[in-house]
Chains A and B, each alone.
Chain A
Amino acid sequence: NAGVTQTPKFQVLKTGQSMTLQCAQDMNHNSMYWYRQDPGMGLRLIYYSASEGTTDKGEVPNGYNVSRLNKREFSLRLESAAPSQTSVYFCASKGTGETGELFFGEGSRLTVL
């Protein structure tokens, strides 16, 4: 039972390069989320998708785009990476029901030089 799978686990980019972080869940969840984690700041929501075919901005969406490819997959794209986007990125999906908890992937550590 894989749960939430993120790729890649590590990536180093140069300023201005682009890349896509991939996320897939096998729990048949409707809602998916992208968070970034920075020291002393907890986790901040970048984008979320309440259901297949919909996406919405979170707290810190600037510099990112997302695609909900299907019910399983939710990707995060950096079009022109900046050093401020150096962070650990987590994908999550929400369990069924209004009070379902979030299930997280193992994270993707991104460094932008």
Chain B
Amino acid sequence: AQSVAQPEDQVNVAEGNPLTVKCTYSVSGNPYLFWYVQYPNRGLQFLLKYITGDNLVKGSYGFEAEFNKSQTSFHLKKPSALVSDSALYFCAVRDSGNTGKLIFGQGTTLQVKP
């Protein structure tokens, strides 16, 4: 069965420093991987996705993610964090079959301090 894991409940970084939010996955076949962000009392917003091709995927708000097949990881990164990046981040993998269902990790809270 497809699954994702986000090993950190919370990540703390100082504003201006690089940030990484970790995600590992387990799939049968080729993985379709996604990152979403959720601000307080809001819905999930799509950040970026990996389907195929270049292992470094660029997305919204300056975020990028690195797909690593050998380590089965899809870590979210940003070179310079902003206080406004503080939010809940979810990694997700497309379920097998053609239903479009996403399987989500438990989420990682990113706290960026001034």
Contact = CB atoms under 8 A, between A and B. Distances in A.
Interface of B: 9, 32, 34, 36, 41-46, 49, 51, 90, 94, 98-107
11 contacts: A44-B104, A48-B101, A50-B100, A58-B101, A94-B100, A98-B98, A101-B46, A102-B34, A103-B46, A104-B45, A107-B43
A43 interface: yes
A110 to B, nearest CB: 14
A101 B49 contact: yes
A90 interface: yes
B49 A40 contact: no
A101 B9 CA distance: 24
Interface residues of A, number: 27
Given A40-B9, A45-B102, A106-B42, 6 more contacts: A33-B100, A40-B106, A50-B100, A101-B46, A102-B34, A104-B45
Interface string A36-61: 00001111110010100000101000
Interface of A: 4, 31, 33, 35, 40-45, 48, 50, 56, 58, 90, 92, 94, 98-107
B22 to A, nearest CB: 15
A8 to B, nearest CB: 14
Given A31-B99, A98-B98, A99-B49, A42 B44 contact: no
B105 A42 contact: yes
Nearest to B97: A50
A46 to B, nearest CB: 11
B46 A41 contact: no
Contacts of B103: 45
A57 B56 CA distance: 34
B104 A99 contact: no
Contacts of B41: 107
B106 A41 contact: yes
